[in-house]
Amino acid sequence: MSNTLKFAYTNGNVFSLTGSSYTGYFNVSGGVAYMGKYSQNTALNNTNTIQNTVYLSNKFFNRIVTQNITLTYTLSDFIFQPNEYINTNSINLKLNKAYDNFLDTYRACFFASSYLPFAYVGSAALTATNAGTKLLWTQSVTNPIVPLSSYDVNITRNSKIALMPNVFPNTPNDCTLVVANLSSIFTFLVNNSAGTFNFVFSSNRVETNNYQGYNQLTFNNISSIAKYGNNFYICDAGNNSVYSYDITSVLSEDRALGKLFNLKNSITPQQGIFKTPTLVAASNSTVYVYDSSTGIITYFDSNFNITNNYSYSQYFQNHPPVCLTYYQLTDSLFVLTSDYQLIVLDSQANPTFYSFDSTQYAYDEVPKKLVFSNTNSDIFYILTNRGLYKKFISNNYQNIGNYTFSTAITGVPGSYNNGPDPFTYFYDMDTYDDLNNYDNLYVYGYDQIINYNEQTLFNSLLK
């Protein structure tokens, strides 16, 4: 677990370093600000402002524009009760409470901008070229929108995506995009700024780097994928298995190593652990797997030895999980359910329960994915079949706002073929941790890969 309480990106005027205003990432630990996201090596100088005080505390700038101002303490907390001792300590206690309320009032003067998105970068869509139909980055889709299944019949709206920065990129900002459908995986080298969307490899074999022999095990029903660092995980509900891969050669863009996924380990039906493994998530030391038949989330170490589990089958029957997402800052697992409930499990599998305001979503709208911001430790995003939303972790009942989608993405009316489900426009999303001052979001929706650069901005009532 990180020692970091919070992190964010500052454009200056909050902290200083070597006598100059500091621009970049800062993190807070023990009431001190440090350079970077997670390390406490270089301390930053405090500018001694009220804003600074909030950043260094356990409080957040997390007001939503529709919410009223709330204070930590009420009038009764400041009234001396009969027979209560009045001395220096009791007076100081009430002064400290008053100061807390002052900080709450100051924080309430800032509210997160609900104008979303911050920046639409472009979309990767199927486009007709002289060399045939290819996946290309574009600022506006053609009409009608051509589904990605026209590129390969296996890439459907059921496919999952994972986005990872390459370790030794040949071009700055090179990333690897994995698209996993029910029975195979595809990998692409992507770079929006360079206009790159290049196919790397695909495989329907569990051992992606083994082309020899017959009757090799193939994927049967890929229900979930996860990544952490150079490790990649595939949960195959059809094979009742979970597979672990080393993807260093792909992220290194190393042709000599084969640019394939190397199978490291697996959990198979013969081990008798699962009935129907459905969802997977991962940290640097733990793999989390949800079994939809038993209602158990099992904690494994990197060698797939069981270290812990969380069982609440009755609850999960009524609130089926749709997504597991690991949160590095608190070493915790976020479990999103189909009816907008959130269970946060700490490293010891102790739960905390939250509920989102379901009135902010349409009656036929269902959540699909949760990902965390990489620029503000108090932000996460929720993707549903009908929209994309931004939320605070510390104040998660309501949405900060929802994304609007221009005709550059949706096309003119009738461009998008709804197919058998007229209410499904979005299928999956992902982002990754880097040092840019924005969240690089990839959204698979409207039969294309939509790219946003997202920042969290605050409007202020103060002059």
Q: Per residue in 42-75, pLDDT tens?
A: 999 988 889 999 999 999 999 998 899 999 999 9
Q: Is 88 inside any structural domain?
A: no
Q: Is 420 inside any structural domain?
A: yes
pLDDT at 132: 78
pLDDT at 215: 58
Q: Check whether residue 35 and residue 167 sit in a common domain.
A: no
Q: Check whether residue 40 and residue 130 sit in a common domain.
A: no
Which structural domain range is residue 7 located in?
A: 1-59
pLDDT at 249: 92
Q: Check whether residue 176 and residue 273 sit in a common domain.
A: yes
Number of domains composing the chain: 2
pLDDT at 418: 84
Q: Is 104 inside any structural domain?
A: no
Q: Is 267 inside any structural domain?
A: yes
Q: Check whether residue 270 and residue 419 sit in a common domain.
A: yes
pLDDT at 58: 93
Q: Check whether residue 227 and residue 327 sit in a common domain.
A: yes
Tell me the CATH number at 132. Answer: 2.130.10.10
Q: Is 91 inside any structural domain?
A: no
pLDDT at 133: 82
Overall pTM > 0.75? yes
Q: Is 67 inside any structural domain?
A: no
Q: Is 65 inside any structural domain?
A: no
Q: Check whether residue 330 and residue 261 sit in a common domain.
A: yes
pLDDT at 211: 64
Q: Starting at the edge strand that comes first in sequence, how are the strands of the sheet with 231-236 ordered?
A: 222-228, 231-236, 241-246, 262-267
pLDDT tens track for 101-120: 999 999 999 999 998 999 99
pLDDT at 56: 94
pLDDT at 213: 57
Among 9, 24, 59, residue at a domain's last position: 59
pLDDT at 460: 86
Q: Check whether residue 26 and residue 140 sit in a common domain.
A: no
Among 40, 59, 78, residue at a domain's last position: 59
Q: Check whether residue 154 and residue 13 sit in a common domain.
A: no
Q: Check whether residue 190 and residue 50 sit in a common domain.
A: no
pLDDT tens track for 406-447: 999 998 888 898 887 778 999 999 999 888 899 999 999 999
Residues of the chain scoring pLDDT < 50: none
Q: Check whether residue 18 and residue 138 sit in a common domain.
A: no
Q: Is 330 inside any structural domain?
A: yes
Q: Check whether residue 126 and residue 55 sit in a common domain.
A: no
Q: Check whether residue 162 and residue 303 sit in a common domain.
A: yes
Among 59, 80, 109, residue at a domain's last position: 59
